[in-house]
Structure 1
Amino acid sequence: MNDRYDAGYGSDQQYELVGYDEYGQPVYRQVPPQQPPQQPYDPYAQQGYGYDPYATGQQQPVPPYEGHDPYEGRTAGHDPYGAGGTAAGYDPYGPTAASGQQPRVAEQTAYIPQQAGPAEEPEEPRADERDYRTGQFAFVEEPDGDSEDVIDWLAFTENRTERREEARRRARSRIVALVVVMALCAVGGVGYLWYAGKLPGLSSSDEKTGTTTAVGAQKRDVVVVHLHDTRSGDTATALLVDNTTTEQGTTVLLPNSLSLTGDDGTTTTLAKSVEDDGSAGTREALDTVLGTEIQGTWRLDTPYLQNLVDLVGNIDIDTDTDVPDPSAKKSKGAAPLVTKGEAQTLSGKMAVAYATYRGSGEAQNAQLQRFGQVMQGVLRKLSSDAQAATVTVQTLQQILDPSMTDKDLGTFLAQLADLAKGGDHRTALLPVQGDGTLSAETSASVVKDVLGGTAKSPDQGAAVRVSLQNATGVKDNTEKARVVLLNGGFTFLDGGTAGAAQAASKVVYTDAGDKADATEVAKTLGLPTSAVSKGKTTSNANVSVILGQDYAPSS
């Protein structure tokens, strides 16, 4: 590059063009001073528009003086942006620039920053001229992925700790609740045992008999059922007992020979009472002899029993004998209708045949126990739902005793069915003596424990129940004493005949409130008052009498 120009008016410095920067501006370097040519006055040169920020040893621009017009007195060749001009009007984009030949004019060195033009980024200083200072930097904390991970981990750790604490609190609450429930169950269990009289140490025992009396009274629902065999005309009777206190069910089988006392004081048997007195009279006679409160009577004829078994879907029982078909002609080698064995499935017809069967030479108790097996099988198959059991009863279309409705019987049978399915139902035979009376052992084991029979204090005006056992050795004395007691306003209960005669008579009472009644009984029978004593009576009587040889019947 040989092009040179003067720095400005009155300046003795000369510069040589060495090239252009990235913005198209000329770049110069200082050369030895030469005699500057005469140049027209240029106000921009005084303002320092020829200032090169990249040149070393540059001079400070001189501001124009006040009132001076920088455009005044310009020559035609002063326009640096003109299309044509002299050497003073050099166009950096013209052919001269392309050829690299530029005239040496001072106006060429001027860069006019005030002129409007395209917005450009500020020029970056060269690396060797950069001067970094602390105040020139602003530090911005950029987010880092690792920092987010740390925050997430801290949040997870905090949440996990809170969950552990919450789990510990819930566990402690559960333990406390479990302890409270166990304590309540223990208290409830002890209370139930106390109420049922099964808690050791809380029962009262009689010193003479050693029997135990429950502390709490037990509630029982009792229904009497009479099975009528329409083929033979025989009957079988059982008591269905639901002990709601102990949640135990029992079927008590009553022999037909059981001695009962009618309303007129006459003695009869259970079988005869069912035939003559009907359901109401028999129910009252049973209440008298057993000391119970029977709620209703269920007459079940054999056709209805057959339908009942078919409705529940057959029954499974252990049969104790082969039973022939009663409707078939008797012939040798005929197959039995019911086969002896365990878990035999019986249809309605088979169940009726088994329940009414009495073999040759068998006692009536054998047939009675088979009837009890059939009833047990029916209860195990009957629905435990009261509504469903009621529908079953209604489907039988039988005529019930007015003392019970379909709903009452269905609800009662459903409760027994639930006990039977849970193994809380059993069958018991009421043992009677040869003359049909109850023994003291029977009163203690069945009448009292199962039926809850007891000699209740009679209501105002009610007759006192007197059980009489004949130990005189004279059979007719029982009838004579019965008539005397009935005439005296007492209820007579046949206590049977003693195995051996006794010399002295005894009149016994248990409750202190019955002492006056016992004394009155002795006077009515013509016995001395010294025969009256406190002791153990039968459970179904207020006063028990053992009639000895000192008894002298009145004429």
Structure 2
Amino acid sequence: MNDRYDAGHGGGQEGPYEIVGYDEYGRPVYRQAPAQQQTYDPYAQPGQQTQHAQQEYGYDPYGTGGQQPSAPYDPYANYGTGRQAPVPPQGAYDTAQQAPVPPQSPQSPYDPYAAAGGQPQARVAEQTARIPQQAGPREEPEGPGAAGPAEPGAAGPEYHTEEFAFVEEPDGDSEDVIDWMKFTENRTERREEARRRARARAVALVVVLALVAVGGIGYLWYAGKLPGMSSSDSTTGGTTAAGAQKRDVIALHLHDTDGGSTSTALLVNNTTTQQATTVLLPNSLALTGDDGSVTTLAKSVDDDGPDATQDALDSVLGTAIEGTWRLDTPYLQNLVDLVGNIEVDTDADVPDPDAEDDKDAAVLVHKGEKQTLSGKMAVAYATYQASGEAQDAQLERFGQVVHGVLRKLSSDAQAATTTVQTLGMILDPPLTDKDLGSFLASLADLAKGGDHKTALLPVQDDGTLSTEDSSGVVKDVLGGTAKSPDEDAAVSVSVQNASGDKNNTAKVRITLVNGGFAFVEGGTASAAQATSEVLYADAADKENATEVAKTLGLPTSTVAKGDVSANARVSVVLGQDYEPAS
């Protein structure tokens, strides 16, 4: 078929194009007839002479008759379909049928939207290639009565969602949102971590409090201070607790340089219970020497010296004395003056020992509460023992002076050491100035806090210790065990020398110890006695008294029942008839 189409007349005639089909909009699709080999140039400039211009039947889709066509109208320019829809030329809407668009050929692409002058079609292809594929507008009716251009106010073409392509643009606030979410997440994690740490601390605190409570109860039980548990309980737990406590003990001997008497006390610092105690020891306390002889505390201090006395006290009391402090009365006077006087609740009026006679004796220390004592007054009060008064009263006064000194002494170890060094005393080894100063400072600290007390060791008439009476001091304060005389122990023999020869005392001592007896020093009689005596108080000791007489070479007639020294089972009075063994 060789039908031609003349756009200028609005009808189909024979020409170089033939209809090969219809597109999706119902428009005819043309192709160039094979017989024609010319190239179609719809935008050739006027006056240009080409091979196609020489043909009378050239195709002019705009019907301009060789005039330059106007800019083409493209109602679908913004909605690319991937291929170009037919575009009516100028005046096309005046005809009853839309003008067909010549098909594009690969050799000569058809660009109906090119500007006058013929822009390269590659540029159009580059621009249209970026337009996504979209569906074309709805189909318009063709033929006579076809609608012309849209009137103002008329409904525009209908579009569908699939006709558009949406591109998600980055939001400027998205990073801020992400940062906020990270911050919120981190803050939540920190809160959870803080809660976990708080719970861990709470658990740790509960555990610590529980351990402290258990430890406190255990300590009270160990120290025997739980309610209903006395320190003097005879149970194993109570005894072990008292014995296991740590104590520092120093023996203090006060020597009266004027009267010649001595007073002894044990200064105890219980570092476990933080309690200080001054234990007063009566001079009548019976001690046993290394040679088995029995003596009193007073005689041991004067005759045997500090070391032997310390060992004897450890043996009888079951304690461990670390050192001995010999304090003569002049040093006590200087010590009180150095600490700045002391306050004591005195229990007696004490006369001035420097008075010439009793009638003119003035009262140096008055009886009363909170009496301020100087060094001289403190010495007079500590050594005072009224006529007919037991030594225990004098020991109590000595203890009061010691307590007053501790309350005024510095609690600083260095300062207390300086005070001790200022006194200029010569201490018995192994005690040193520094050791004594530190020890006294610790006692002073406890005394100022109300943790210092004074206790008197109860001693029986014979100088021995009663387990029942002395257990409160020996076991609880000293942590030792009172030792009562054993039934199989050597018989103690008290010897008083009335022979007129002082050397006989030492000779008798050697003889009795070698004979298996315990020697007890009885002193020297004021007057000589012609006949010796061997006395016993208990009938059970009559045989022992007879053996003592035979050992000393005395006749059995000298054995009789009578008064015996308190710290011995047999008493011997050496007369002038005594002849020591050769």
Query: TM-score, length-normalised on structure 2?
Result: 0.51
User: Which of 458, 463, 475 matches 1:437?
Assistant: 463
Counterpart residue identity of residue 116, structure 2: A
Given candidates 185, 195, 206, the residue that maps to 1:164 is 195
Aligned partner of 2:324 in structure 1 is 297
Q: Give 2:423's aligned amino acid.
A: L
**Structure 2: distance between partners of 1:290 and 1:153:** 76
Residues 484 and 422 (structure 1 numbering): CA distance in 2 closer, same or farther, change over 3 Å?
farther
Asked whether 1:110 is paired with 2:116, we answer yes
1:399 CA displacement: 0.6
Paired position in structure 2 for 1:226: 253
Provide closer, same or farther for how the CA distance between residues 347 and 443 of structure 1 changes in structure 2, counting only shifts above 3 A. same
- Amino acid in structure 2 at the alignment position of 1:40: G
Q: Does residue 504 of structure 1 match 2:540?
A: yes
1:34-45 map, 5 Å? 40-41=47-48
One-letter amino acid of the structure 2 residue matched with residue 202 of structure 1: T
Once the two structures are superposed, residues 495-524 of structure 1 have per-residue CA deviations (whole angstroms, 9 ceiling, x without a partner) of 9xxxx95443499xxxxxxxxxxxxx8996
The correspondence for 1:405, drawn from 432, 443, 457, is: 432
From 499, 508, 516, give the equivalent of 1:489.
516
Report the counterpart of residue 138 of structure 1 in structure 2: 167
Deviation at 1:137, TM superposition (A): 1.6
Q: Deviations over 1:191-217 (max 9, x none)?
A: 5659x995967349xxxxxxx976985
In structure 2, the residue matched to 1:91 is none
> Who is 2:34 aligned against?
none
How far apart are the structure 2 equivalents of 1:251 and 1:264? 30
Which residue is equivalent to 1:102?
none
Asked if the contact 1:447/1:453 (under 8 Å) is kept, the reply is yes
Aligned to 2:93: none
Distance in 2 between residues matched to 1:322 and 1:128, nearest whole Å? 136
Alignment partner, residue 240 of structure 1: 267
The CA distance in 2 between the partners of 1:255 and 1:64, in whole Å, is: 144
Computing the radius of gyration over CA atoms, which structure comes out larger, 1 or 2? 2
Number of residue pairs aligned between Structure 1 and Structure 2: 421
**Aligned-partner SS, 1:366:** helix
Secondary structure of 1:409's aligned partner:
helix
Shift of 1:281: 5.2
Does residue 67 of structure 2 align to residue 50 of structure 1?
Answer: no
Partner Cα distance (1:245, 1:353) in 2: 35
**Counterpart in 1 of 2:397?**
370
C-alpha distance in structure 2 between counterparts of 1:494 and 1:275, whole Å:
12
Asked whether the equivalents of residues 49 and 112 of structure 1 are also in contact (C-alpha less than 8 Å), the reply is no
Q: Show the counterpart of 2:235.
A: 202
Is the CA contact 2:352–2:362 (under 8 Å) kept in the aligned structure 1? no
Shift of 1:181: 5.4
Instruction: Quote the residue 1:340 is aligned against.
Output: 368
Cα contact 1:197–1:215 (8 A) shared by 2: no
Once residues 256 and 186 of structure 2 are traced to their aligned partners in structure 1, the CA distance between those partners, rounded to angstroms, is: 85
Measured at CA, do residues 290 and 201 of structure 1 come closer, stay the same or move farther in structure 2, by a change above 3 Å? closer
CA contact (8 A) 1:469 1:547 kept: yes
**Could you tell me whether the CA contact under 8 Å between 1:230 and 1:301 is conserved in 2?**
yes
Q: Secondary structure at the match of 2:402?
A: helix
Give the whole-Å Cα distance in 1 for the aligned partners of 2:247 and 2:193: 57
Within 2, Cα distance between the matches of 1:333 and 1:380? 31
Q: 1:297 and 1:155, CA in 2 relative to 1: closer, same or farther beyond 3 A? A: closer
Distance in 1 between residues matched to 2:302 and 2:474, nearest whole Å: 24
**2: distance between equivalents of 1:398 and 1:467?**
37
What residue number does 1:251 align with?
Answer: 278
| Aligned match for 2:453, one of 421, 426, 430 | 426
Structure 2 distance, partners of 1:129, 1:159, is 60
Matches of 1:160 and 1:173, distance apart in 2: 20
Q: Which runs of 5+ in 2 are unaligned?
A: 1-6, 11-44, 51-59, 62-67, 77-86, 90-98, 109-114, 124-129, 131-151, 496-504, 523-535, 551-566, 572-577
> What's the CA shift string for 1:74-132, capped at 9, x where partnerless?
xxxxxxxxxxxxxxxxxxxxxxxxxxxxxxxxxxx83776699xxxxx9xxx9968968
- Partner of 2:235, secondary structure, is coil
Instruction: Please give the per-residue CA displacement for 1:41-72, whole angstroms capped at 9, x wherever unaligned.
Output: 499x999773344799448998999999xxxx
Cα distance in 2 for partners of 1:67, 1:262 equals 145
